[in-house]
Structure 1
């Protein structure tokens, strides 16, 4: 998701500078590859670039192909077959075992149209299907996606799934809440901060700041992280969530099981049947300190969002991106 924000911002900056640019997009993958369809690399005519289409092994060659596309003002589609026995067969060291097809678009107006579609997606709270007709009859269609689906590249049309932007609500003013906000911001997650407004660090960039008594515009796709260290505040937060018209996707509560038992006793009912509660919050990675705890929580959120179980990859009996 962060890559989309980067591409959008850099397109704006390049337009201001007057530099021309191209956009390389991974449109098809067979077998193993570092990046999946939809990965993008923005390349300026001066050789600077942002994003990526591999783990670093293809970017150098794509830079050359991009200059050719920019000079000729024609689309270019390049296929790299990294299944070759000789990893240096293409003149570059390849670490994957698959086929990667990359489309290069040098047309500024078409890239601008794509950027506008991506901006529209990122400003909302739902998943979309993005379809690009990369031909003389260029067209972009952005429609709501009611179910997750794969990508497709056929007859010059690229279709991809854009998951709903990640929105997280962080409750609390302590150091671990601030550490989580910093880590989430690094991934370009949209963060809403709830706490005592006068105690909120001004240097942290968040989407919104709310007091405990404010109305919180929580959506069903949002993830909530409760790090108040205050049982009474947690009670009031849960009371508001239980009476709200929308149930969030996740409610993670910091603290041991015994602490949650006290919350259960207060409400005299099984809260887990009423809200998607996870407590103690985070994955078991032995986290210590605000930053590691933030990583633990973010990892758990990603497992839920991506429908994974958080196990070590060498134990997975299927392809990583299946």
Structure 2
């Protein structure tokens, strides 16, 4: 929707009624991904697209009908002998489209234009109710407190991971919500160009993080050694992290993993990291290395409150031996922290299996 937000904003302020169609799921070789959108105004103007031309005509008519009826509709288009020529979907894939009357909440359009981290949660029923969800607040609602609580929680979890897709509303059988996230992927900053870093980079990429490997030694910090990293940086770790923070590129989802276990790199880097509002700071090393590191950090002026944020020795107790097993134990620890998990075997716990840390429930 980002590409049509400015025009929707114009329609909104001009009082022009419109309907909007959004791709909510795809399969096979469908040309557009979930989140692609087309809108049709009451004057017949169309903007955006949902299929690169394949089914635009059929979706256009669905939008016109939504304008007339005021009702939302969910429709699938797929290749078959009967309907391929009728709708023009000859690519062999399928797409599912959700069409609802506008307007998109003005706050949502403003959030997009400001490049804020925000999610739109569209209830996929006849109402097409939209909730706008930020990490710390939300706007709009269905009028049903239990539905809104689940939808907002699910949207925040998906926004946290930059995920767009359909989820079931657990308290209402048959009710789905389509969540469209506008957020960059969370960052995983791996300091120390060692074998364990290569394994952690692979795991981080698999989990959907944007991964950076940083090391001051150019012979080790090379893209060839870390093909799964989004970027490999040669530079002093503490200077790189301080620069990223100063440029506003570090946030509350950022994971910092210090794998160098060399005091000349670790201590100045951890001094910076432990004072930043990041999600996780972990440092590799033996228990003896850990104790020595704490003494050096205290001598450098790091407070007990800051040191309490340090996960060291890094990772959960999995009995890990190989770099890959160690990477798994590290990732398990920061995922548990991010999601509010205990790290205990599920068979020894009670309550929900899927849960997230509570966020303030204020409404904007």
Same fold (TM over 0.5): yes
CA shift in 2, pair 1:46/1:147, >3 Å: same
- Map 1:67-106; keep pairs closer than 5 Å: 106=96
> Could you say which residue in structure 2 is the equivalent of 1:255?
285
| Equivalent position of 1:281 in the other structure | 314
Q: Of 187, 195, 198, which aligns to 2:215?
A: 195
1:317 CA displacement: 1.9
CA gap of 1:279–1:311, structure 2 versus 1, over 3 A, is: same
Gaps in structure 2 of 5+ consecutive residues: 1-24, 34-49, 57-75, 88-93, 101-107, 139-148, 152-168, 356-364
Is 1:314 equivalent to 2:344 in the alignment? no
Give 3-state SS (helix, strand or coil) of 1:239's partner. helix
> In the alignment, which residue of structure 2 is the partner of 1:176?
196
User: What displacement does 1:216 show?
Assistant: 2.4
Identify the residue that residue 223 of structure 1 maps to in structure 2.
Answer: 255
Query: CA-atom RMSD, angstroms?
Result: 4.7
Report if the CA contact (8 A) 1:69-1:105 is conserved: no
What does 1:24-173 correspond to in 2, within 5 Å? 45=78, 106-107=96-97, 126=117, 128-134=118-124, 142-146=132-136, 150-151=150-151, 152=169, 158=177, 165-173=185-193
Name the residue aligned to 2:206: 186
Alignment of 1:202-217 (within 5 A): 202-203=223-224, 204-210=227-233, 211-212=235-236, 213-214=239-240, 215-217=243-245
Given the superposition, is the C-alpha separation of residues 109 and 319 from structure 1 closer, same or farther in structure 2, using an over 3 Å criterion?
closer
CA drift of 1:166 comes to 3.1
Matched residues in 1 for 2:124 and 2:85: separation? 18
TM-score (norm 1): 0.57
- The one-character-per-residue Cα deviations of 1:208-262 (angstroms, maximum 9, x if unpaired) are 44322332232232111000132210012123335x6x32121100012221221
CA offsets, 1:151-209, max 9 Å, x none?
24879783759697432111011111111101211222111222137332324243444
SS in 2 for 1:287: coil
Partner secondary structure for residue 107 of structure 1: strand
TM-score (norm 2): 0.51
- Superposed CA deviations along residues 92-142 of structure 1, whole A, max 9, x for unmatched, are xxxxxxxxxxxx9733888xxxxxx9xx99xx785x443215467767654
Structure 1 portions without partners, runs of 5+: 1-5, 22-42, 48-66, 74-103, 111-116
